[in-house]
Each structure stands twice: as structure tokens, then as C-alpha cells.
Structure 1
Amino acid sequence: MNFEQLDQLMRVYETTTDQTVLPNIWMVARIDGRSFTRLTKEVMNYQRPFDQRFRDAMLSTVSHLLDCGFPVLYGYTQSDEISLLFSYRCDVFGRKLRKYCSILAGEASGHFSLAIQQQASFDCRICQLPTDQLVYDYFRWRMEDAHRNALNAYCYWTLRDQALNPQMAHDQVAKLSVAQKNELLFQHGINFNDLVAWQKRGVGLYWRNVDHMGFNPQTQMPTISQRRKIHVDLELPQREHYTALLRDLLDR
């Protein structure tokens, strides 16, 4: 059996289960850190519940993913997760799921590891959303999750600072309503509403056209051109204003 025959025989086993995303469906990649609880607490010893060094490493990773060969309209990150919204007409790699998942997980893992100088890994899956409304709902869902996680994290670490062990702190937070959690923090000098927006809502990254000043040596005159630049939004709007931002990005 020559190489061509062997290649034709074996290639089937590699590609026969390939799945592709149908046209006219939005794709969102959800990329999550693997074993990041141990990484952040034991290996890196980050400040709790939020550490700007960790946030900046995540933002650097999202920026890299926006510019690594895929047409990404919007990137969102909170905690150890990243969500990427691809262009509606994205057809990179024929929309093969295994390509997207493997490449994006690898790119995120490699870039983040270099950013923190420690080995770290991410997994990836693709959400297939058939309507614009589901895209809005997806990102509002992730923002609501960020808000819930931030409130729980502040309550948990506040109780830990009061000498409660991990299980006791977890159990006590689980019993509280949202109003009771806010009251717990207020009693310890923390007004949750006054915390910086990125901790409560996550961070959005998207492309913007910005003016670039140049100089024309032939006319000896200054020139202005437009270039695309990634904008990091640390104060994302909420509710219908967030939907309006997403709608604008979808229309591009």
C-alpha cells in the first residue's frame, strides 16, 4: 500500500466525526480556565477576592484572541472565563468545531501562561445561537453571573477574615438572600454598589476605529487616517444599555 492509499484509508478515521456549524447561526466561544482555584490561591497567591494582576493577564489573553486570526466582534471576560462572539459570516476552517475548540484553547493557554509565567490551561466549547436575541441573552447571562459571583466572593472572604473556616463561610453565604448579603458587607464597611464596575460586571473588549496622526513626506503635511484598535471597556453598561451596545457590535 503506497502513501496515497494509506493516507486515504486513515484520513477517514480522523475526519469522519467532524461537526460543522451551519451557516446563518451566531457562534460564541466559551473559554474557561482549568483548575484555576488552585492556580490563583496556591500557586500565584493572588489577592482575594479580586487581583488586578490576574485581571490584566485575562485582558491580555482576550486581546490576543481578538487578533489571532478569527473575526471576533466582541470579547467578554469575568473571573477565569472568556466569551468570544464571532462575525455572523465567519467561515474560518469551514466552521469546524474541533478546529475552533482546539485552537482557541491552545492560544488562550499559551498566552495566559506566558503572561503569568506559570503553566495554565483553558478548555473551549462553542455555543450556537440562531437569533440576535439569544446573543444578547447570552452576554447578559454572563454579566449576571459575574455580578452574582462578585457578591458571593466578597461575602465569603469577608467571613473568612472573621476566622470562619472555608466550609462554614461557604454554608453561611449559601443561606443568605441578595439583600442579606449586601447587609453583611455593609456591616463590615463594604458598600457593594460602590465597588468598581469591572469586578461586578466583567470587562468587554471590542474593535474601534481611532484617528491616527501621520505625516506625508511628499506634501510635507500632516495626515489623519483611521486604524482599528481594541477598546477595553472597564465600565460596561447594564440591562437595555448593554443590549444596545451589543446590537451595535452585531451590526458591524
Structure 2
Amino acid sequence: MANSKFEYVKNFEQSDNLLPNTWVVVRIDGRGFTKFSTKYGFEKPNDKRALELMNAAARAVMAELPDITIAYGVSDEYSFVFHKTCSLFERRSSKLVSTIVSTFTAYYVHLWSTHFPETPLSPPLPSFDGRAVCYPTVTNLRDYMSWRQVDCHINNLYNTTFWALIQLGGVHATEAENALKGTYAADKNEILFSRFGINYNNEPEMYKKGSVVFRDYELVEPGTHDTATEADNLAEPVPQSKTQTENDKKRRAKARIVVEHLDIIKDEFWDRRPWLLSNKPGKVPKEP
């Protein structure tokens, strides 16, 4: 690039490199989605169409970016996890976040008519913001994912009870808020069951547990791998031949990207899917 007297402006750019040898989580959130959900009449406390649209956009992002190892979504939020050895965009926060946000937003808008065929979009259009956070160990990463899933349960139990009081109990929002102040999970479950005959345990798993997106390989027996320790001990990417890299890419491309509503807090989820922490593709299941 030719030099010019204006090139000095590059000196104002600041480094935004992410820490090496860490798991990178890019979390995106809908901007102004309270007003957005009201505008398009989202059902309360959960709109299945809106959640499935979020999941479809997340699957599309993962298909375009094979460096994403797992994603977790709830409400208008999604977290995308990159393995600690990932070198995508030279681990620059701005490029990583802007790529995830723009790709997700593009697919959300593109897929809108599939999930809301009778409600066309109009300005202001949906948009998302995001941030990147580094987590140095597998424990930190799993605790982050557990935090989001626990948050999903707490918020959904509250919202389910809140809207039951309004929609079935006929009370105003302020009355519902006052009725739930200082209550525990057992209290909310009791309100749902005794007053409205709702057993919270029977609510859809997507609402209670959120959605986890990952590439689907053959499950392994728990205890046969110590992938977490291996991942923590890995200081830098293990050099691979060009052939091995291409083979891994093909195996990732062949794997189905699935959306499940599972418990990701317990060890079993991770023990049976070692590829989530190893960054090595698993065995693609045979076609039935």
C-alpha cells in the first residue's frame, strides 16, 4: 500500500488481541428485543417460533464457521465457543465479534419469513450486539455454560409463574410482581400447581434448559477419555500436516449440526462428547 500523509491515523488503532491459550466465548444479545417482541406479538412467557428462529440462525453460523465447537442459546441470547487453540482472525476480538454478530443477524433476518410467514419485517429491523470473553481453563468454560443454563431455569420459572398469574389469574403486572417478591423455586412451583394445575416439570425442555448446538458424532463411554485434563495441559496447537487438517475439515463438514435441549451442567454431557473439548472431530455415525 502506498504511503501518504494521511497514514498517520493508523497510530490511533489499539490492539484488541485476545489472550492466547484460552477458550473464547462470543456472546450476542438482541438489541431492544423487549420492544421488538412486543411489536411482533411474541407469545408470553415463551414463543416457540422465536426460539426456533434463534436456533436456526445459530446452526447456520456454526455451519459457516467450523471453528465454533459448541453454542448455547436462551431467549434472545446466544454464546458461541471457540477452542483455546483456534487462531481464527488471529484471535482479534473486534473481527471475531463483528463476524459472529453480522453473520447471525443476517441469517436471523433471512430466516424470519420461515418462522413468521404471516408477519413481514419492517424497520427498525432486528439487530444484535456482542462481546468476547476469554476463559483459561475447562472448568472456567463449563462454569460459564452452567451459569447460562442456571440463569435460563431461574428466569423461565419466574416468567412462567408471572405470566400464569396474569393470563390465567387475571391480575395486573404489578400485582404479579408483588406476589413473587421474595419467593423461592418451591414457592413458584406451588403457585403454578395449586392455582393453575401446571406441573413445571412438564414444560418443554427448550424452555427450561435452553438450546445447545454442536456437531453430532458417535457418543463414547464415560470415563474412557480425560479430555478436560488434556485440553488444560495443551499450551499451543499441535502441528498437523496439511492432509490431516483437510481430513479434519471434511469430517466436520460431514457431521450433522444438531440442536438439543440437554443438561450441560452434569459431567455426562461432556464425558460422552470428548470432541467438544479436544477440538478433534469424532466418528461420524453411519447412515441408518
TM-score, reference length from structure 2 = 0.75
State the AA in 1 paired with 2:95: K
For structure 2, the 5+ residue unaligned runs are 113-119, 219-249, 280-288
Pick one of 241, 245, 248 that aligns with 2:268. 241
Q: Which residue of 2 aligns with 1:145?
A: 151
Shift of 1:242: 3.7
Cα distance, 1:28–1:147 mapped onto 2, change above 3 Å: same
CA contact (8 A) 1:18 1:97 kept: no
Shift of 1:70: 5.5
Cα distance, 1:186–1:238 mapped onto 2, change above 3 Å: farther
Report the Cα distance in structure 2 between the residues aligned to 1:246 and 1:79, rounded to whole angstroms.
25
- Of stretches 28-37 and 113-122 in structure 1, the one that deviates more from structure 2 is 113-122
Q: Which residue of 2 aligns with 1:157?
A: 163
TM-score, reference length from structure 1 = 0.85
Cα distance, 1:113–1:173 mapped onto 2, change above 3 Å: farther
Report the Cα distance in structure 2 between the residues aligned to 1:63 and 1:174, rounded to whole angstroms.
37
Report the Cα distance in structure 2 between the residues aligned to 1:159 and 1:114, rounded to whole angstroms.
36
Report the Cα distance in structure 1 between the residues aligned to 2:275 and 2:65, rounded to whole angstroms.
22
CA contact (8 A) 1:74 1:84 kept: yes
Report the Cα distance in structure 1 between the residues aligned to 2:271 and 2:203, rounded to whole angstroms.
24
Shift of 1:68: 2.7
Aligned residues: CA RMSD: 2.2
CA contact (8 A) 2:149 2:264 kept: no
Shift of 1:191: 0.6
Shift of 1:110: 2.1
Pick one of 168, 177, 180 that aligns with 2:184. 177
Q: Which residue of 2 aligns with 1:28?
A: 25
Aligned length: 234
Q: Which residue of 1 aligns with 2:284?
A: none
Q: Which residue of 1 aligns with 2:206?
A: 198
Report the Cα distance in structure 1 between the residues aligned to 2:177 and 2:257, rounded to whole angstroms.
38
Higher strand share: 1
Report the Cα distance in structure 1 between the residues aligned to 2:65 and 2:5, rounded to whole angstroms.
32
State the AA in 2 paired with 1:171: N
For structure 1, the 5+ residue unaligned runs are 211-224
Cα distance, 1:74–1:245 mapped onto 2, change above 3 Å: farther
